[in-house]
Amino acid sequence: MYLIGVAGPSGAGKTYLATQLAAALQASVLALDRYYRDLSHLPLEERARQNFDAPEALDHGLIVEQVARLRNNETVHLPVYDFASHTRTRRTEMLRPSHVVIVEGLFTLHWPSLRELLGTKVFVDMNDEVCLMRRQARDVRERGRTPEAVVEQYAAIVAPMAQRYVRPSIVFADVVVSGTESIDDGVSRVLAHYERQISNARTNDSTDLAQREAMPAITRNE
């Protein structure tokens, strides 16, 4: 099992890059948006006022547990989150291990315990103006928000939290993809790193095997 992590600010193009990588590698995509904490214990109006752009908004422990199980070739039952009501549903969705899984989300490179599970770490970078435009279109279309509410939330919370938590994680990336570059170019550079890592792993395995076979047998005096 090989894990590719894709991080970056909201609206940068993480999901698009992840889906293109998945198509190229016949891989599965695991979106960290699934792991928002359940807010059903709060009144609906109070739920909407929560900060969803800080790491604490996600169930970090469950993320690391399930990603680690995938890397160990175990099947996991993923949570399903309802963004309209800010609650975790009772349903789960099964994800079986495949040769590659792409982990995609704001904080993919933020947590050390998640980073150490990843074979290739990718950061998708984009300026705030384009990120806001893309986020507004997505949240209105998919998450039941109004355009005005998206703009207000972006200025008050999303952009500051990205500056504090998301953008600094670029330093951990093996590959930085600009949201303005051709998607084909970005995919090619990520695939090149992936292929180098796989090749190096095979070389190391072959070297280790040759060294073990060359070791003299140990005999015991009975």
Q: What percent of the chain has pLDDT over 90?
A: 70
| The pLDDT value given to residue 214 | 60
Instruction: Check the CA dihedral 197-199-205-208 and report its sign.
Output: negative
The listed CATH number (3.40.50.300, 3.40.50.1820, 3.30.70.2190, 3.40.50.720) that belongs to domain 2-195: 3.40.50.300
What is residue 218's DSSP assignment?
A: P
| SS3 assignment, position 40 | coil
110 pLDDT higher than 60: yes
| The pLDDT value given to residue 219 | 46
| The pLDDT value given to residue 222 | 43
d(CA 122, CA 3): 11
Contact between residue 174 and residue 193 where contact means Cβ atoms under 8 Å apart: yes
68 pLDDT higher than 60: yes
| The pLDDT value given to residue 60 | 97
Q: pLDDT tens digits, residue range 157-213?
A: 999 999 999 999 999 999 999 978 899 999 999 999 999 999 998 887 665 655 666
